[in-house]
Amino acid sequence: MNAIPILTLKRLPVYLDLLYKYQRAGMKTVSATRIADSTDVHMTQVRKDLAFTGVVGIPKVGHRITELISAIEQCLNWNDVSSCFLVGVGHLGKALLGYSELSRKGLRIIAAFDLHPETTGEYLHGVPIYGMEKMPNLLSRLHVHIGILCTPSEAAQEVAEQMLAGGVIAIWNFTPVKLDLPEDVIIENIDMSSSLAVLSRRVAERMMRKTS
Amino acid sequence: MNAIPILTLKRLPVYLDLLYKYQRAGMKTVSATRIADSTDVHMTQVRKDLAFTGVVGIPKVGHRITELISAIEQCLNWNDVSSCFLVGVGHLGKALLGYSELSRKGLRIIAAFDLHPETTGEYLHGVPIYGMEKMPNLLSRLHVHIGILCTPSEAAQEVAEQMLAGGVIAIWNFTPVKLDLPEDVIIENIDMSSSLAVLSRRVAERMMRKTS
């Protein structure tokens, strides 16, 4: 299994969304040129990206859409559902528990942990919620390798370390904290704070220019 | 109001989180060196970033924490709450309606719209939910300039265009769609799909290496 470049990986879901749309519209084949036009990615780049999936286009016809969909899903490991768990059942954590798109994208949350669960032992969107003290034992029993981190910032580093101790190899980090962990840990950050910082400032700058 | 570089803007919330923590711990002042150590940003860079806030440190003492907090909040316009609205009340949209951190970060959702609201005219987390047909009229009456986009991918471009027609200047885009809009529109993307694509693939690569 070869390492696919990160920017290719980030574009594959965009192609996939488009292919689902074509499929719903009843199309059978699509050219790289058409994908390029609809995604604003250069055609040469689209061809390179699709080559990573191992699918070969048919001259003058393009790619079979079903074949391309399943090749991309396989590339992203989205055809295979991985179990994961979530720590920090605040507003964002609850949201993710109810976010049904995740399972379509290969991730199934099988347990959630919180320092002060409102309702320990209860289920939220079908996922059981436990106190943090249950985490070490459950992680080692369940063999889960992916953790979603939604704790308050001040707890993020400590919880991440507990995750690693429990056998986690990948963390999807929704806190703004830059985690300090061994290099071989796979970390993907969704930093809503940074994004909101840029948005808020750019809006303020625009408003000032308008009034000055 | 000068344009602050995007990377500086993205780091300011990280400093801010740290400063809140110091404040809760009873600290009064902090040095750039200490901020650098705790955030893994080079000291020279921390100094440059803080200079954009206009706050000047005191030699051998550092920065007053309350002063620095309010300077950063003002830089990000987080001290001033902006009204915004949200379109697409699915799982993710509902989550954001309940995400109380937003108002601490200068954003208050005052209305939400959905093509098929489960409960039109009802409130969710104190926010009224309307049908899409109400959007043009309400936007022009409310003078809201920021829209949060949480629709399904296939509706994203069209809804974004309707937002602009309603006077929106900034879109916080939670769909994986690369929006095709005039250059002066402020767009910030939170692309969970791309992030999940990278995470899933890296985990799959790791697992394959282990078993091979």
Give the pLDDT of residue A119: 63
C-alpha span between B27 and B36 (Å, rounded): 17
Set of chain A residues whose Cβ sits within 8 Å of the Cβ of B4 = 201
In this prediction, the residues of chain B whose per-residue pLDDT falls under 50 are none
Q: Are A168 and A146 in contact (CB under 8 A)?
A: yes
Mean pLDDT for all residues in chain A: 90
- Are residues B201 and A4, on separate chains, in Cβ contact within 8 Å? yes
C-alpha span between A19 and A62 (Å, rounded): 13
Residue-wise pLDDT tens digits, B137-153: 998 888 899 999 999 88
Tokens of A153: 């910032």
Torsion angle of alpha carbons B171, B124, A113, A158, nearest 10°? Answer: 40
Closest partner CB to B203 (pick from A10, A170, A194): A170
C-alpha span between B134 and B19 (Å, rounded): 42
Alpha carbons within 13 angstroms on the beta-carbon side of residue B55 total 25
Residue-wise pLDDT tens digits, A89-106: 988 898 888 887 788 888
Q: How many CB atoms are located within 10 Å of the residue B81 CB?
A: 14
Chain B CA closest to residue A193:
B13
CA distances B6 to A199, B76, B78, Å, are 10, 11, 16
Q: How many CB atoms are located within 10 Å of the residue B181 CB?
A: 17
- Are residues A102 and B153, on separate chains, in Cβ contact within 8 Å? no
Give the pLDDT of residue B120: 64
Residue-wise pLDDT tens digits, B20-59: 989 999 999 999 999 998 888 899 999 999 999 998 888 8
Type and span of the H or E element at B38: helix B32-39
Closest partner CB to B204 (pick from A1, A192, A193): A1
Tokens of B69: 């907090």
Shortest distance, CA A12 to any CA of chain B (angstroms): 8
Give the pLDDT of residue A99: 80
- Are residues A4 and B204, on separate chains, in Cβ contact within 8 Å? no
B91 touches chain A (CB under 8 A): yes
Give the pLDDT of residue B212: 67
Which span out of A12-21, A56-65, A164-173, B187-196 was modeled with the highest average pLDDT?
A: A164-173
Strands across the sheet containing B123-124 = B123-124, B127-131, B107-114, B82-87, B146-149, B170-173, B186-189
Q: Which B residues, 25 through 44, put their C-beta within 8 Å of a C-beta on chain A? A: 39-40
Set of chain A residues whose Cβ sits within 8 Å of the Cβ of B98 = 91, 94-95
Domains detected in chain B: 6-75 (1.10.10.10), 82-194 (3.40.50.720)
Give the pLDDT of residue B1: 72
How many residues make up chain A in this entry?
Answer: 212
Tokens of A53: 């999936």
Q: Does residue A188 carry a pLDDT above 80?
A: yes
Set of chain A residues whose Cβ sits within 8 Å of the Cβ of B75 = 201
Query: CA angle A201-A202-A205, nearest 5°?
Result: 85
Which of B86, B200, B206, B211 is most worth mutating to test chain A (most A CB atoms within 10 A of its CB)? B200
CB pairs under 8 A between A and B: 195
- Are residues B91 and A99, on separate chains, in Cβ contact within 8 Å? yes
C-alpha span between B13 and B49 (Å, rounded): 11
Query: Who wins on pLDDT, A164 or B121?
Result: A164
